[in-house]
């Protein structure tokens, strides 16, 4: 069974519905330039109501270590996702504390060589955008995604996923997990409940052939 991470959670309603529908992980973005940013205080409030069996993931972009540590401890996060230019040593520092996911925007084959230098718990691959670190809504390069899936590391697929195309990408890429944000939103940070339910159910009910 494929796992589902719903990212860009900003409120209790979306978090509770995602959990109820069967999401395996929730992503909370602490990047100040993101339209889906949530404060540590708000995240902590939301997490008080969420099942302990749902993985809580903090998303950061080129953040100072001390800031990440403070938020990690304050919100009691269980995993960290790094979406910037963080180095392998930076990621290894946090890997000693929690699960670490390193995100890569698939621009060209050079990115695949870069990925191999990171001994993290999982790779997340996203569509390339020259100015945005994530949440672009753009579809990922299928050929590069397939090569990334062949690397010996658990893979999280992101990039333009929505209820209409998710089965296509599951069949083509066969990742261990999928990450969705803009594809199930009414507007940045606010989920469309029906789309979210449909997306999660389609992933959970899909049987790889």
Catalytic residues: 7, 126
3-state secondary structure of 102: strand
CA neighbor of 185 nearest in space, from 196, 197, 169:
196
The β-bridge partners of 6 are 26, 180
Residue corresponding to tokens 């205080």 = 41
**Cβ(144)–Cβ(113) below 8 Å:** no
List of residues 6+ apart from 96 with CB closer than 8 A: none
Residue 48 CA to chain centroid, in angstroms? 21
In angstroms, how far apart are the furthest CA atoms of the chain? 45
Q: Can you list the alpha helix ranges (DSSP code H) found in the chain?
A: 12-21, 40-47, 65-75, 88-95, 109-115, 142-149, 166-173, 193-205
The β-bridge partners of 101 are 81, 122
3-state secondary structure of 93: helix
């Amino acid at each position: 069974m494929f796992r589902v991470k719903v990212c860009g959670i900003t409120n209790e309603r979306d978090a509770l519905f995602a959990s109820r529908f069967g999401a395996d992980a929730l992503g909370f973005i602490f990047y100040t330039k993101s339209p889906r940013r949530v404060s540590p205080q708000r995240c902590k409030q939301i997490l008080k109501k969420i099942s302990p069996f749902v993985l809580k993931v903090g998303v950061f972009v080129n953040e100072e270590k001390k800031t990440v540590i403070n938020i990690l401890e304050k919100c009691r996060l269980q995993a960290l996702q790094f979406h910037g230019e963080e180095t392998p040593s930076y990621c290894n520092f946090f890997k000693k504390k929690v699960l670490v996911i390193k995100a890569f925007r698939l621009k060209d084959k050079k990115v695949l060589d870069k990925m191999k230098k990171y001994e993290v718990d999982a790779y997340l691959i996203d569509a390339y955008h020259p100015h945005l670190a994530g949440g672009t809504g753009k579809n990922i390069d299928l050929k590069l995604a397939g090569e990334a899936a062949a690397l010996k590391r658990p893979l999280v697929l992101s990039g333009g996923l929505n209820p209409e195309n998710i089965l296509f990408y599951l069949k083509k890429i066969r990742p261990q997990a999928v990450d969705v944000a803009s594809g199930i939103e009414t507007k940045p940070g606010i989920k469309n409940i029906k789309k979210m339910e449909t997306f999660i159910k389609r992933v959970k009910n899909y049987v790889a052939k």
